[in-house]
Structure 1
Amino acid sequence: MPDLKTAVTGNTLPRHLGLFGLWLLVVNGLIGAGIFGLPGGAAKLAGEYSPLIYLFCALLILPILLCMAELASYFRGSGGPVRYGTAAFGPFIGFQAGWLYYIARLVSFAANSVLLVDSIGYFWPAAIAGFNRVLLLAAIIVSLTLINVVGSLRAMRSLALLTVIKFAVLLLLVVAGASLLGTKLLPDFNPLTVFNSPYDIGAATLLLIYAFVGFESVVVPAGEAKNPARDMPRALILGLLLVTLLYIGIQLVSVAAVTDIANSSSPLLDVAAALFGPVGAIVLMLGVVASVAANLLGAIFSTPRASFALAEDGSLPRWFGAVQPHFLTPANSILFFGVLALMLALYGSFLWLAAATVVSRLLLYSLTCAAVPVLRPKLAVSDSFVLPLGYTIPLLGLAACGWLALQVSLSSVIATALFVLLGTALYFLARRQASRN
């Protein structure tokens, strides 16, 4: 088991990721497919106040993100939550943090793979039926897996291209929509009366908060960052700022462009069609495909680094920690992730598993906030990103996690508990195998 110094400084992968590469991981972790379907539900629950709910969600997530930014500035090795949990609370908690992160991202990856195929089915209906669906899912997951196996630089170039397409489509919708709508874009409301409105603000917040999770994926490949102490905090903060502004702009345009947006099952497609006709809907669908593909590529880049870090710590078999000698990537961990994701996407009934990702992320975020007061006295140095106001911000992050946890269903809690038990069994099995060897 590595000591604290090794956990902080250890590294076996080449450092290719600069600020831009880390920023790409942040924004693609945040912006997946959700924003293409959320405006309708947000308008139904919060009406013209819905743009304010995005801002409220960003403020809720901000202290959690800042705590992760501080912890990221202390560590130079890959692993993210695995490293933080291990250094602060011991190897068992560190393993559980990595395990919960891994499962949440794996199920999300499988679900988004299916969503990408369904989006392609908009152009080619036969793609979502029978053997064509199997072939398309296999082609998507295998190609993303191989891109990551052959090198992080190639993965980042592909991610950059998809991000450009995604942002171009979304920004075009906001800018062109604002130009066409003019003063209609701004709703006529008094923000001070929002909580006296007939809308369900709590439910709207719970719905939209999921558009702000996923940023934690950037801290997992910290061992491949050129200067994680400097660039990680910047990437996280800049990513949240840009994404929040984009979300608010999208919601303003959506509410103004389509009067019945609250009852739409494909809100942004309806917005694009209302503003620009059928061609606009087609262009926006290309943005959906690019957005989901970028989210998938970011997930399959960062998540296998968690199992790689667990193997380096001795919490998973050494096989997961092998580095491909030619490409210098954690190929075994990437291949394992790709195989599991393909199995879930093809055969698994994983919709009930998706509920567990909610509680899993809240547990991860709580662990992150709780680790700050433990690790700051031990690891903070002159060039670290140390939060102001003492431990007020970590406490705010814990309070936000607690409030959000009160909104989740019992089934989500039970599913997460089952995953924790499974992870515990795997952990002790790996320990037993290690002691025998």
Structure 2
Amino acid sequence: MEKSTKLGFWSIVLMGINIIIGSGIFLIPGSGVKLFGPASILVLIFDALLIFMIGLCFAECASHFNENGGAYVYTRKAFGNFWGYEVGIATWATRIVAEATIYAGLITALSGVFPQLQQPGPKYTLITFIGLALITINVMGIRISKVVNNLLTVSKLLPLLLLVVVGLFFLKPTNFQPFFPPELAHMSNFSTAAVTLFYVFVGFEGLVVVAGEMKNTKRNLPLALLVVLIAVTTIYVLIFTVSIGVLGPELSKTPVPLQAVFAAIAGPTGKWIIVLGSILSMGAIVVGSSFVTPRAGVALANHQMMPNFIKKTNRRDAPYIAIIISTCLVMLISYSGTFVVLAQIASVARFVQYIPTCLAVIRFRKTIDDDPNAFKVPFGIIIPIIATLVSVWLLINAKHDQLLLAIGFLVIAAPFYFLTKVSKQAKLD
């Protein structure tokens, strides 16, 4: 791929912001207040610190590699082919299911304006149209994908920034009192809130999956990851602060908190601004996701853990086979409606990428020659250890059925690794 067509630093930053800020922030603030009151802002910051530590680990690992794959590449290098395969297949499956969930969210948002989309026929037609449009955009190459992603990311941020700027003038200090409601200020509530709010940050790991599509990866990707996480955390804290300051306890009583906040500030006009913002947000994130998801499959094919044809590219250097396969699977899951159950696996399966990457940092400190140009997580291995332990704690506090489904998926996937290995060895013989 020519260097001029690759993602530059600010395109990487915008893509990272895009794939993190999705529908969650439009819905989560109410859940946070319901679980931990105004102090849910502190829970959000706690999650941000965890994500930041995990992000530092991803940044160090990313500085050692220029290829696509992210956590799969790091795990394979650190712990061998089998664990790399498990992480890689989980990453691809997680991204496919998460993308299908975004399709559903987009349909739901649009059905509020066009009720006929609640019927199977129109719903399936729109899903097909979205899928075909995304295939077209992505097979046309990175240049088109980059332009569409950048435009949609900026567009979806405008309503959120407008909410923050206007909302700051409508804050009521009494809405933050008591900051720690006695009936909610318990460790069990804190852990539940931490697990719930954590999911507004997931998705950043998708950025490292497309490392091979970037300019100066070893320099740009670690810095871009840190800029993205700081920017997203700042936006989230401001949104939570404004939402609580404007509505107070009433925030926990609405399923669409940001719509309710803007409606309280600007009436029906404000509500429609947020409706438009949520549609733009989900549209933008599905564009970003459709670019990242196929590369997770390509990374496996690059190491002969998937059939070689998956990594085939067209004259615009787009992996068109992986794009078509990934998008068709996304559409099938969206048609079936079973993605709600699979999304439970996807949410917990994120840690299948996070924990091995944190551990890989410790491993690489011993096995990879010191590179003066590589990014280094500060304070030695303390941050990777803390990030691993807190991630395990969050997993323990997740719903047990979600955890069992995620473990079950990894167990089911394991035999396919050995079949692939046997098939590969047979060809060599």
Q: TM-score range by the shorter chain?
A: over 0.9
Residue 398 of structure 1 is matched in structure 2 by 388
Taking structure 1 as reference, are residues 194 and 12 closer, same or farther at Cα in structure 2, changes over 3 Å only? farther
Q: Which stretch has the larger CA shift, 129-138 or 24-33?
A: 24-33
> Is contact 2:72–2:353 with CA below 8 Å preserved after alignment?
no
Compute the displacement of 1:420 (Å): 1.1
Query: What SS does the corresponding residue of 1:212 show, helix, strand or coil?
Result: coil
Residue 6 of structure 1 is matched in structure 2 by none
Taking structure 1 as reference, are residues 348 and 48 closer, same or farther at Cα in structure 2, changes over 3 Å only? closer
> Is contact 2:171–2:242 with CA below 8 Å preserved after alignment?
no
1:250 aligns with 2:233: no
Counterpart-to-counterpart distance in 2, 1:264 and 1:296: 25
Residue 351 of structure 2 is matched in structure 1 by 362
Residue 330 of structure 2 is matched in structure 1 by 341
1:97 aligns with 2:87: yes
> Is contact 1:322–1:331 with CA below 8 Å preserved after alignment?
yes
Taking structure 1 as reference, are residues 226 and 35 closer, same or farther at Cα in structure 2, changes over 3 Å only? same
Counterpart pick for 1:236 among 225, 228, 232: 225
Counterpart pick for 2:37 among 31, 36, 47: 47
Taking structure 1 as reference, are residues 194 and 171 closer, same or farther at Cα in structure 2, changes over 3 Å only? farther
> Is contact 1:127–1:133 with CA below 8 Å preserved after alignment?
yes
1:267 aligns with 2:257: yes
Counterpart pick for 2:63 among 67, 70, 73: 73
Gaps of 5+ in 1: 1-10
> Is contact 2:358–2:385 with CA below 8 Å preserved after alignment?
yes
Residue 30 of structure 1 is matched in structure 2 by 20
Compute the displacement of 1:157 (Å): 0.9
- What per-residue deviation string (whole Å, max 9, x for no partner) do you get for residues 84-119 of structure 1? 011111111111111111111111110110110111
Return structure 1 stretches of 4+ with deviation > 3 angstroms.
Answer: 11-15, 182-186, 188-199
Residue 8 of structure 1 is matched in structure 2 by none
Residue 3 of structure 1 is matched in structure 2 by none
Taking structure 1 as reference, are residues 195 and 241 closer, same or farther at Cα in structure 2, changes over 3 Å only? farther
Query: What SS does the corresponding residue of 2:200 show, helix, strand or coil?
Result: helix
Residue 140 of structure 2 is matched in structure 1 by 150
Compute the displacement of 1:417 (Å): 2.3
Compute the displacement of 1:253 (Å): 1.4
Compute the displacement of 1:430 (Å): 2.5
Residue 328 of structure 1 is matched in structure 2 by 317
Residue 363 of structure 2 is matched in structure 1 by 374
Query: What SS does the corresponding residue of 1:303 show, helix, strand or coil?
Result: helix
Residue 125 of structure 2 is matched in structure 1 by 135
Residue 111 of structure 1 is matched in structure 2 by 101
Counterpart pick for 1:120 among 75, 97, 110: 110
Query: What SS does the corresponding residue of 2:176 show, helix, strand or coil?
Result: coil
Counterpart pick for 2:200 among 211, 214, 222: 211
1:169 aligns with 2:159: yes
Compute the displacement of 1:410 (Å): 2.1
> Is contact 2:175–2:244 with CA below 8 Å preserved after alignment?
no
Equivalent AA in structure 2 for residue 20 of structure 1: W
> Is contact 1:25–1:217 with CA below 8 Å preserved after alignment?
no
Residue 317 of structure 1 is matched in structure 2 by 307
Query: What SS does the corresponding residue of 1:226 show, helix, strand or coil?
Result: coil
Counterpart pick for 1:302 among 273, 292, 316: 292
Equivalent AA in structure 2 for residue 247 of structure 1: Y
Compute the displacement of 1:351 (Å): 1.5
Compute the displacement of 1:200 (Å): 2.1
TM-score (norm 1): 0.92
Compute the displacement of 1:186 (Å): 7.8
Counterpart-to-counterpart distance in 2, 1:43 and 1:68: 31
RMSD: 2.2
> Is contact 1:185–1:252 with CA below 8 Å preserved after alignment?
no
Residue 213 of structure 2 is matched in structure 1 by 224
Q: Percent identity?
A: 32
Counterpart-to-counterpart distance in 2, 1:205 and 1:218: 23
- What per-residue deviation string (whole Å, max 9, x for no partner) do you get for residues 223-266 of structure 1? 11111111111111111111111111111111122241111111
> Is contact 2:6–2:214 with CA below 8 Å preserved after alignment?
yes
Counterpart-to-counterpart distance in 2, 1:189 and 1:233: 40
